[in-house]
Structure 1
Amino acid sequence: MSAPPYATALRLALVWRGDPHAPEQPTRHQTRLQPLMAALAALGVAVEPVAYFDEAAAAARERLLGCDGAMVWVNPLAEGQDRSRLDPMLREVAAAGVWVSAHPDVILAMGTKEVLVRTRDLGWGADTHLYESFEALARECPARLAAGQARVLKRNRGNDGQDVWKVEMAPNTAVVTVQAAASDAVEQLPLGAFLARCRTLFEAGGRVVDQAFQPRVGEGMIRCYLSGDAVVGFGEQFPRLPLGAAMPALGMASAKTMHPATEPRFGRLRRAMEEDWLPRMLGLLGLAPKDLPAVWDADFLLGPRDAAGSDTYVLCEINVSSVLPFPDMAVEAIARSAVVCMAKARAVREADAAGLSRYTREQGS
């Protein structure tokens, strides 16, 4: 890689949540993002790590306004914290001309579970529904469970398997078996009691997505990593519970096996993603390729085999808010994508400033 010919170095803030009680304490992000920092430095980018605290949002805002771009790694939910203060600040920074990846509005469009409903007819979807209120959940979910197929209920905005459950109702009863994705813990309880537990998920405009359980989840999950509209790698994740265990798998272990974008086993998936699903998803969501983050991923489970015996793929979520780790072999592509986006943002700001300066001179003459 060679440094780009800019008069002054592009400056990129790498943002993650820190601990306000130990602001100097290193986090896992410093280690995991070192390869990306090195790739950015090789391209002539000045990297500014920013440990974000809600209590110091104004200070973070000022630091980001001094940069050409900001890449952000902050989960929607973590240790009782959300992004209710961070997202408005990022919108303000982006409105000032700083490139933000991922922009909060892009996260809402494609990085929540609701995207499973909006894109279910693309070819990667399954039997999926959206409950916009607790009343809708209480009214519609029992009939779907009574049909005999297990369902997976997912909080619309969350991470790490929080508030994701496989729910199955015993025939001719009102008793459900509930398995938590975060821990694989299983319990049996009355359906009404489980639904009542879900009421809090609808607070502050929350929603719940209901997707048919995919029986091949025990064979693992394939994570398709992208930078902008290009696939840059794959990851494989396998269940905590082994295939054939007495309790069927649902949640995935944290370990991932990374593969390059050219991995032959995922060639069909890559072509479908780049040439078919992604362009149509952008159209459905009202997004453009330029809106896509510098790093994001789509998680797939294996669906039913087709008539030729080939695997199909079912989307189970898109991750945009905090994609870590990602394949080392994708680092250079991610860094180049960030440079291109920051350079465009700087060019727009400079053009706007030049136009304003010219207007000011003309008004004064």
Structure 2
Amino acid sequence: MERSTTVALLYPGDRAMRDRADPRESRFVTLFDAFESAGITAEPAVYHDDFADEVAAQLRRVDGVLVWHNPIESGRRRDRLDTMLKEVAQRGVFVSSHPDAVLRLGTKDVLLDVRELPFGSDTVRVDSLDQLAAQLPGRLRAGARVLKQHRGCSGVGVWRVEAIRDSVQLRVRHAQRGSEEEVIGMPGLLQRMTPYFETTNGGHTIDQAWQPRLVEGMVRAYLIGDRVGGFGHQAVNALYPGQDGKSAPPAGPRLYYPADLPQFQYLRRMLETQWVELLRQRVGLPREHLPLLWDCDFMFGEPTPEEPERYVLCEINVSSVSPFPPSAVGPVVSAMAEALKDAGRR
């Protein structure tokens, strides 16, 4: 009897969730159903460091694994998980996203890597608090900046900083949900930035120029390998500024659209024909390590005569891309089937 192809969907949870192993209580019901329809067995691989060895044994017997796990989950880093994923990948299990892809694409360092590419922007690496204190005031004279910790999620460690005219005070806002704008001095800013310069947090930050057109929203392109699988548009995001002296509005929902949405076809064309390849080459990522599901957040850039439509990369999400447009489900399943076939696992 021919062995069926099996994939695991790995996501964080507790002991009780792992014991139940119920796809219906996960975020990925539609994916489980789509794999079943494609003749591929999909099983939950609920993960926690406390039972990592048990998960590792499970992954060694499957053909492929799709991973959803943030850089920090419930206060824990994913170091042990990454070691485990590398080990099972070396045994021939197809892993996406591979930890090497996460490190090359999924940290804020990618903004420095691409600053000279068509979707890049004015970006600087800051290696110490002293460097930040010495150089940031000069950059603020040209406009607001956004300081970003090396690696994070959900807006944590992302700060908009703006100089106040004829004052040494700064207007500062954290992108973490629920944060309010503050007016503080440089010492206060340095105090808030101190944790991001610790070695365990990457030892540096990234300083990116503020994009004034953020008030027009942010576009998220969902990619399956090098193909666009859908879009998300968020009209009001976490750093949306207040208007006319009023407080900034809370972040709004992200609305999801299929890949053929007319208003983003220029972005889709550039990603599929040029930008993904430019990005892959710039960060040194082998084509076979492009994630099966990842996304790029773009801000609207200032148009030029040569580029009437311009997009500026804000960040790339690789570790835990969810939710995603329904239009991406079928392409993800097809891409996994093709990857397993190429790897001789199907």
Residue 259 to residue 321, structure 1, CA distance change in 2 (3 Å): same
SS in 1 for 2:95: strand
Specify which of 178, 181, 187 is matched with residue 175 of structure 2. Answer: 181
Question: 2:152: which partner in 1?
Answer: 158
Question: 2:208: which partner in 1?
Answer: 211
Q: Which moves more between the two structures, 136-145 or 60-69? A: 136-145
Specify which of 84, 91, 100 is matched with residue 79 of structure 2. Answer: 84
Question: 1:142: which partner in 2?
Answer: 137
Give 1:134 shift: 3.4
Is 1:112 matched with 2:107?
yes
Q: Report Cα offsets for 1:157-210 as digits up to 9, x if no partner.
A: 100101111001223433111111113411111112211321211222332111
Question: 1:312: which partner in 2?
Answer: 310
Retained in 2: the 8 A contact 1:113–1:209? yes
Which consecutive unaligned segments of at least 5 residues does structure 2 have?
none
Write the distance in 2 (CA, Å) between the matches of 1:71 and 1:291.
Answer: 13
TM-score (norm 1): 0.86
Question: 1:63: which partner in 2?
Answer: 58
Q: In terms of Rg, which structure is larger?
A: 1
Q: Report Cα offsets for 1:235-261 as digits up to 9, x if no partner.
A: 1112166984645759743x2211111
Residue 29 to residue 315, structure 1, CA distance change in 2 (3 Å): farther
SS in 2 for 1:32: coil
SS in 2 for 1:297: strand
Q: Which moves more between the two structures, 215-224 or 201-210? A: 201-210
Instruction: Give the 5 Å matches for 1:1-365.
Output: 7-20=2-15, 23=18, 30-145=25-140, 147-182=141-176, 183-203=178-198, 204=200, 205-239=202-236, 244=243, 246-247=245-246, 252-253=251-252, 255-307=253-305, 310-347=308-345
Write the distance in 2 (CA, Å) between the matches of 1:144 and 1:82.
Answer: 33
Residue 193 to residue 20, structure 1, CA distance change in 2 (3 Å): farther
Aligned-partner residue type, residue 329 of structure 2: V
Q: Which moves more between the two structures, 81-90 or 331-340? A: 81-90
Write the distance in 1 (CA, Å) between the matches of 2:250 and 2:280.
Answer: 29
Aligned-partner residue type, residue 4 of structure 2: A
Identity of aligned residues (%): 38
Give 1:31 shift: 4.3
Write the distance in 2 (CA, Å) between the matches of 1:30 and 1:288.
Answer: 35
SS in 2 for 1:71: strand
Residue 242 to residue 113, structure 1, CA distance change in 2 (3 Å): closer
Aligned-partner residue type, residue 302 of structure 1: F
Say what the alpha-carbon RMSD is for the aligned residues. 2.5
Which consecutive unaligned segments of at least 5 residues does structure 1 have?
1-5, 351-365
Retained in 2: the 8 A contact 1:184–1:249? no
Give 1:12 shift: 0.6
Aligned-partner residue type, residue 48 of structure 2: F
SS in 1 for 2:77: coil
SS in 1 for 2:79: coil
Write the distance in 2 (CA, Å) between the matches of 1:86 and 1:102.
Answer: 12
Give 1:11 shift: 0.9
Retained in 1: the 8 A contact 2:17–2:46? no
Residue 250 to residue 99, structure 1, CA distance change in 2 (3 Å): farther
Retained in 1: the 8 A contact 2:10–2:66? yes
Residue 10 to residue 21, structure 1, CA distance change in 2 (3 Å): closer
Aligned-partner residue type, residue 40 of structure 2: V
Q: Count residues with an aligned counterpart.
A: 341
Residue 120 to residue 148, structure 1, CA distance change in 2 (3 Å): closer
Write the distance in 2 (CA, Å) between the matches of 1:176 and 1:242.
Answer: 15
